[in-house]
Amino acid sequence: MGAIRTVDLPSGPDGEQRTTEMTNLEWSLQFVKLKIQEMIFNGRKTDQCGVILFGSEETSNIINEKNGGYDHVSEYIPISQPNAGTLSKIDALRPSEVSGDPIDALIVGIETQAQYLASKKSWTRKIVMVTDGENSIEVEDWEATVQKMNILTISLTIIGVDFDDEELPFEEENKSTIKRANEEFYHTIISALQNGVCGTCALALRETTRPDMKQTKSTLMGSILRLGDTDSRSDEAIEIIVKTSKCTALTRPKSWKKFSVRQSLGDDEEMDVEEEQKIAFAQLKMRSEYFVDRRDHDEDEDGGIKMEEDESILDEAEKEEKQKVKEEQFEKVEKEQLVRGFKYGTTYAPCPDGQFPRLQTKKGIDICGFFPTKNFRRELSLGEVQYVWADPSSPPQQVALSSIIQAMYEKGVMAIARWVTKDGMDPKMGVLSPVLFDEVDCLLWVQMPFADDIRKYTFASLDNLVSRKGEVITEHAYLPTQEQLDAMENFVDAMDLMEAGDKDEECNRATWYDTLLSYNPAVHRTKQALFHCAVVSDVSTNPLPPPHPELLKYLEPPRRVIKRARDATEECKSTMKIRQVPKKVAKARKDGHVHATDEDEDFLLLDRKQPISPARAQIHITQAPPTSPSKRKAPTINPDDSETEEEDEEEMLLDKPMVPPLDARNSHPLPTPARSLSPQVDPGRAPGRIIGSTYPLADFKKNLAQGDLVTKAVEDLGAVITEIVMRPFSSRRSKELLDCMAALRDTCLKEDEVDAWNAFLVNLQEYCMADMGNAEFWSQVKDIGPPLSPISDEEASRYC
Amino acid sequence: MPPYDDWNKIEEEEDEELQDDSFLESKKDVILFCIDCSESMLELYDDPNYEESVPTCHLYTALEAAMQIEKRKILVGPNDSVGILLFNTTRKAEVNRKQGSEIKKNTFLFQPISALGAPMMQELIQLLDAAREDPNELRTTIPPLTGKRVAISDVITSCNWVLRDGAPKTATKRVFLITNEDNPNPGPGSWQLMTSARTTLIDLAQSGVTIEPFFISTTEKPFDVTKFYSSVLLPSNIGDEDDSDEADPSVLPESISISRIEDLLSQMRFHEVPKRAQFSVPFEFAQGLTIGVKGYGLVTEQKKGAYRYFVDLGDRMEVATARTVYIDEDRQVEVDKSKMLYGMSVGETAATADSDEDDGSGVGTRIVKAGQRPFYTADDIKSFRTLGLEPGIKLLGFKNRDQLRFEDNIKHSQFIYPDEMAYSGSRRTFSALLKTMIKKKKIALVRTLTRRNAQPMFCALLPQEEKADEGGWIDPAGFHLIPLPYADDIRSAPIEKGLRASDKLKDAARAWIDKLSVKNGAYPPDSYPNPALAYHNAQLQASAFREQYDPESFEDLTEPKADMIHKRAGNLMQAWKVALVNDDSADMVSVPPVTGSKRKADVSVDEAEIRSKYETGTLGKLRVDQLKDFLKSKSQPVSGKKADLIERVAEWLDAH
């Protein structure tokens, strides 16, 4: 197991192949640790494990103690519920030079397990053997061992390093004779066992990442289905005892714990100096603190734009000082001093209990009426779905509910119902839909919106365009032509999934995509990552392996469908003539109301002569050129002056010579850890970004004016600035970038994005000060001082 | 959803899904009501809402609508600001009123733009009450300008000034213009006035203000937009009216409401919340075929606001700001967010491990060699969640409409609409897809990532045709984006077997279901205001107004109409109950499912026996497990001591 092997790592940020070296032992122990980690993760008291080594220097096992023999087999970790200590013990294992007999180890394992489980007969027994198959095995008498295992119903899994495997597939070249013989022997054992598998380690490692479903048994909650007035007209009113359980329930990714490097190891430090240098990561705890602003509000509401005195760039001493300034104005208050209440606009409405008296309600599901299923509006369904069953212990109730369900089903209606989960709980409205399973009938409930939950936004009609003269327009760039409709129809037909799935026994293709087979990538990838970092000691040299293929299977359309739709797609592309609209440059404002910094705009205009937009030729969607502001200055009233494609195209042609030669260095955006799987190339504005690198400030301002996505705009501008700073020759854009930063800070301050600004600044500093960074730019930032400094809470508060 | 977003910041990025909308809600919204007070607006007529003759006027209705909107605003957006500007009035501002700059003549700032509070609301309510008492009150308080009208350009300029002084720069700013005059500036020079009105409107739009006109039309005085407004008003796209095709000058602006005065409030309701996109992403049909779409939340659960903590500062109550800090507990040091790393919990059990004498690290720490890092950065964990995908919608293919099942639901839907600003041609492509899918009765399967730190999801795109309903509301054309559950979210049915009804019994049930079905009905969200929320808000308002709240005055509209049910189907329901008692199943004894070998001896007592014990007052003779069994079978709680159980059993028997 001491042999060194080369292990493939996920490709690096630039797609380069990366590998690392480790011993076979380290490699195969990853499997052991992942398995143990899963037990730790599930945290069940009934999930226990122990570790027995064979080929260890020392010998310590129960059989040896009693009868001798069984050398070089030792019980390393006694059977118990595993914890983080178990993992670190496993980490301490090193390859040895001695050899131990796997069958000896197996017998020790069976014995140790049997002794531990002497009084726990119902426990499931499993043995997992991890080996490289190079040990010599005493093959006589193995049948007795197998028999014993079958009696005890032990399942055996043999994980072999570089065993041949058809499933993966894998075949080892230059396999040693002894290994070949051993592999064969292992397979013989497995086939003799009632319950055994033998597999190669690489596959086993991959399979640990296979998304597995945690089967959650929903508890049955008691409730009452009612119709009519059960209090005063009980002769007529209906009451059925029902049980409810969840049909869908949102699963969220597991949460991450927060850690940070502990600055010094404190008292233990001296001891450590002699050994290797170590660092400790401490888990962080959350604590809430409350602050109150004692200053009078009107005092300097407007003066807030003025900068705080000297809070230049982060520095430990200054930071402390900042803290002090903050604390002077912001007083920390203890939770005990606080009273609960609500805000009614600017008015305080006391409410010491945290809630007003609740509406009196009575537990149960009240039917309000029925309506035809075809009128059900699917898009109104609000959340998780619930089953409603008749009481499984009461035949009359079952028959009663069944008769209602069947009648509803036959008539094709759903019921409107009001559900109160517990006396005094807030009622919910929803619908009940009848379902007939093979052997039982039930209702499905889904919550529907209250009047308060519906937003009635108005949208312009897609079909009815009316001219200013009040006439209906039938031909317009917004309205698809017959040709376009035909192209779309072909496309929809070609992209049909109804018969695009796998073939069944009768060679009929099933529908592609099934909710029951779609695994949540976020949940499973996060879990994989959590486990990975728990078992490796460094994620940068041993990064997370790629996700299991099961997680990715539905992310792209099936290949044969894409192939089938190729022609239709091309047709659609050519008739629809979609163009990406480049971000417009904000027009210099004529009015004096907005205090926009005019220099910025001027500067931008100058700068535009050297746009840095790369690789236009790669863009599939042709970009229309930025419209020059002068052309649009006078909004035209002429109703016939609707813009047509042709005009755009002409502009395109005219503009073309102005497109600068490609700058090869710029054609790749900076590598980021989160690289896109889907190819979307518009390097000017990276996919998903609303701020481009060509005219960042203009894009930013425009987005703010639109007021749509401020948080996003702030985030993107920050990213773009950092990106440009790190590009070669960015110094010629320094002033523009500094202006961008000023605008960004200003917005962050006013839009409660203070954290975003501060984080951006720290990040920028890191980038600039790194090797190959841009220290020059950072010093420029520092020179400017306060207008680009981190935002203190105190300053921020003036805008709240 | 709750507007108290900054209060909920404890949720960190990893729970991003939860606070999905809150960042949108944090944007401030400013509405300036701009109400015409001319003679014709003050003209009295009988309020059709009352039997006897109660005089009212358009201005009263407009102010009342403004008050209702304010009332709603104060609850859903406590940070939002509202103001009221009146024009065509001779009332002048008192000098001492705090106001940034003077506004044009014959316009009057009734309520300057400010955050809403109880006193401001009460002032308006008092005026309206007074006007109810004395129909001439409004005419005295707000004397109309007689004989002439203010130029609309002056009105708009005043709006602009008022908003400039009162509204934060980055808020969404809107002017609700209410008038019944379709030709405000007739006569000589009208063309010039029209041009200047248009110019001032462009100015207004450039400072980021949208104007939402509400025109009142009556049979005597119909409102004709083409006379004046259609050539003045701009398309409603904020700020970029002269920016793109969106502003195609040949097309009429989308949001002009011409309504009867009675519908004024409901029309305003449609515009009450500013339309904000939750996301704006590319929608990729296939490689190289991409359009732009924006996503909107049309259904979201509206919750009660969270309570906040206040500190008594003597003269006033001040909200305490909460801040969550992360600390290294052993060292008592606060850790900056940018320095945080993420990993697996080290686990509490680590310290109790019997054999870890070799690391003296205590709980919650992990020690590795220098230079190693067994933790991820914030960017890493974000990429785990998104699988490195970029925000966008990716078409996977089409399926039949019936493949979208009732039970495949997990979250509320969103609505997407083309964004011509991102990709020109989006609208026609979107429209073509919509028409084709409606025609072929298809849904689309898509993979979505709506925001950079959201999770990828599979969704069904459900096409919606444009359709007008009776209430003047038009269902917009577009797609509903319905999130589908993952296999991880789906739970299997815990019950697989049950007794089924005979046809006879089913027919008996069918009889009363027939009577209780609304033929062309559907689930009517509008008829069900959330009672718990309304009850909470009513108490909140009373508390803010320092009034006593009378719980008796509250009416819960979601309660089933029991009288109607009994009137229509009472007999049939009774007949069904009789049929049920006579059904064979009534005598059947349930076979308890065999779970494990350790079944206790059957101790159950039947209901009749318990009832007789109850009637003789000897319930106490029953054992606790018998009481519990009984309660369990009635879906009642089984917690508490024996006395509690007896009481509960008695209560149940009492009620039945």
pLDDT in tens, A352-379: 787 888 888 999 999 999 999 999 999 9
In this complex, do B506 and A410 lie within 8 Å of one another by their Cβ atoms?
yes
* Residue A322 predicted with pLDDT over 60: no
Q: Which amino acid is at A235?
A: D
* Residue B614 predicted with pLDDT over 90: no
* Range name among A73-87, A362-376, B325-339, B405-419 with the lowest pLDDT average: B325-339
> From residue A84, how far is each of A145, A238, A259, A726, B328 by CA, in Å?
33, 57, 16, 41, 20
A196 and A238 share a domain? no
Contact predicate B241/A635, CB 8 Å: yes
The average pLDDT across B440-444 equals 94
Specify if B616 maps to a domain.
yes
B331 and B376 share a domain? yes
A652 and A560 share a domain? no
A533 and A639 share a domain? no
CA–CA distance, A5 with B523 (Å, rounded to integer):
65
Q: Please provide the distance, in angstroms rounded to a whole number, between the alpha carbons at the two ends of chain A.
A: 63
A720 and A766 share a domain? yes
CA–CA distance, A246 with B69 (Å, rounded to integer):
39
CATH code of the domain in which B508 resides: 1.10.1600.10
Give the domain-ending residue among A175, A207, A239. A207
H helices of A614-709, where? 645-655, 696-706
CA–CA distance, A670 with A672 (Å, rounded to integer):
6
CA–CA distance, B212 with B214 (Å, rounded to integer):
7
Q: Which of residues 583-602 of B touch A (CB under 8 A)?
A: 583, 585-586, 588-590, 592-593
| β-bridge partners, B376 | B342
- Can you give the residue range of the structural domain that contains B326? 310-384
The average pLDDT across B593-600 equals 44
B125 and B215 share a domain? yes
Specify if B572 maps to a domain.
yes
Q: Which residue of A has its CA nearest to B116?
A: A345
A566 and A610 share a domain? no
Specify if B496 maps to a domain.
no
Give the domain-ending residue among B256, B274, B292. B274
A537 vs B399, more confident: B399
* Residue A170 predicted with pLDDT over 80: yes
Specify if A462 maps to a domain.
no
A115 and A168 share a domain? yes
The average pLDDT across B16-32 equals 56
| Helices B624-633, B607-615: crossing angle, 10 deg rounding | 120
In this complex, do B558 and A752 lie within 8 Å of one another by their Cβ atoms?
no
State how many domains chain B has: 5
Q: What pLDDT is recorded for position B411?
A: 92
- Can you give the residue range of the structural domain that contains A568? 482-576
- B51-65 pLDDT, tens digit each: 677 788 888 888 888
Q: What pLDDT is recorded for position B25?
A: 47
- B562-592 pLDDT, tens digit each: 999 999 999 999 999 999 888 876 666 555 4
CA angle B481, A689, A676 (to 5 degrees): 80
A561 and A616 share a domain? no
Does the CB of B148 have a partner CB in chain A at under 8 Å? no
Q: What pLDDT is recorded for position A303?
A: 35
B235 and B176 share a domain? yes
Q: Which amino acid is at B277?
A: A
B284 and B314 share a domain? no
The average pLDDT across A336-365 equals 84
The average pLDDT across B74-96 equals 78
B50 and B119 share a domain? yes
* Residue A790 predicted with pLDDT over 70: yes
* Residue B42 predicted with pLDDT over 80: yes
Specify if A494 maps to a domain.
yes
A529 and A635 share a domain? no
In this complex, do B487 and A515 lie within 8 Å of one another by their Cβ atoms?
yes
Specify if B399 maps to a domain.
yes
Specify if B19 maps to a domain.
no
CATH code of the domain in which A407 resides: 2.40.290.10
Mean pLDDT, chain B, whole residue set: 79
B579 and B432 share a domain? no
B348 vs A535, more confident: A535
In this complex, do A442 and B570 lie within 8 Å of one another by their Cβ atoms?
no
CATH code of the domain in which A526 resides: 1.10.1600.10
Q: A339-344 and A330-333 as β-strands: parallel, antiparallel, unpaired?
A: unpaired
B191 vs A201, more confident: A201
Residue B139 CB neighbour total at 10 angstroms: 17
State how many domains chain A has: 4
B483 and B512 share a domain? no
CA nearest neighbour of B577 among A238, A390, A405, A229:
A238
Q: What pLDDT is recorded for position B106?
A: 82
- How far is C-alpha B124 from the chain's CA centre? 26
Specify if B414 maps to a domain.
yes
Give the domain-ending residue among B555, B587, B619. B587
Contact predicate A703/A690, CB 8 Å: yes
B115 and B192 share a domain? yes
- A464-494 pLDDT, tens digit each: 777 766 677 788 888 899 999 999 999 999 9
Q: Which of residues 30-69 of B touch A (CB under 8 A)?
A: none
CA nearest neighbour of A499 among A567, A564, A550, A556:
A564
A423 vs A659, more confident: A423
Specify if A331 maps to a domain.
no
B218 and B348 share a domain? no
Q: What pLDDT is recorded for position A390?
A: 92
A764 and A618 share a domain? yes
The average pLDDT across A330-344 equals 81
Q: Residue B570, SS3?
A: helix
- A109-134 pLDDT, tens digit each: 999 999 998 888 888 899 999 998 88
Mean pLDDT, chain A, whole residue set: 77
A789 and A643 share a domain? yes
Name the band, by pLDDT with cuts 50, 70 and 90, for residue A20: confident
Does the CB of A409 have a partner CB in chain B at under 8 Å? no
Q: What pLDDT is recorded for position A213?
A: 73
Give the domain-ending residue among B355, B384, B413. B384
Contact predicate B634/A393, CB 8 Å: no
Rg (CA), chain A: 35
Q: Which of residues 343-372 of A touch B (CB under 8 A)?
A: 343-351, 354-359, 366-372
Specify if A727 maps to a domain.
yes
Q: What pLDDT is recorded for position A243?
A: 93
Q: Is the ipTM of this complex over 0.85?
A: no
In this complex, do B350 and A433 lie within 8 Å of one another by their Cβ atoms?
no
Q: A154-160 and A196-200 as β-strands: parallel, antiparallel, unpaired?
A: parallel
Name the band, by pLDDT with cuts 50, 70 and 90, for residue B247: very low
A72 and A191 share a domain? yes
Q: What pLDDT is recorded for position B644?
A: 86
Q: What percentage of chain A has pLDDT greater than the value 90?
A: 22
Q: What pLDDT is recorded for position A605?
A: 36
Q: What pLDDT is recorded for position A741?
A: 87
Does the CB of B243 have a partner CB in chain A at under 8 Å? yes
Q: Which of residues 461-520 of B touch A (CB under 8 A)?
A: 462, 464, 466, 473-474, 476-478, 480, 482, 484-502, 505-510, 513-514, 516-520
> From residue B246, how far is each of A118, B249, B420, B519 by CA, in Å?
79, 9, 7, 42
B240 and B288 share a domain? no
* Residue A597 predicted with pLDDT over 60: no
Q: B474-475 and B467-468 as β-strands: parallel, antiparallel, unpaired?
A: antiparallel
A154 and A184 share a domain? yes
* Residue B460 predicted with pLDDT over 50: yes
Specify if B485 maps to a domain.
yes
Beta strand residue intervals within A161-304, DSSP E? 196-200, 221-227, 238-246, 257-261, 278-293
* Residue A603 predicted with pLDDT over 50: no
Contact predicate A249/A384, CB 8 Å: yes
A685 vs A689, more confident: A689
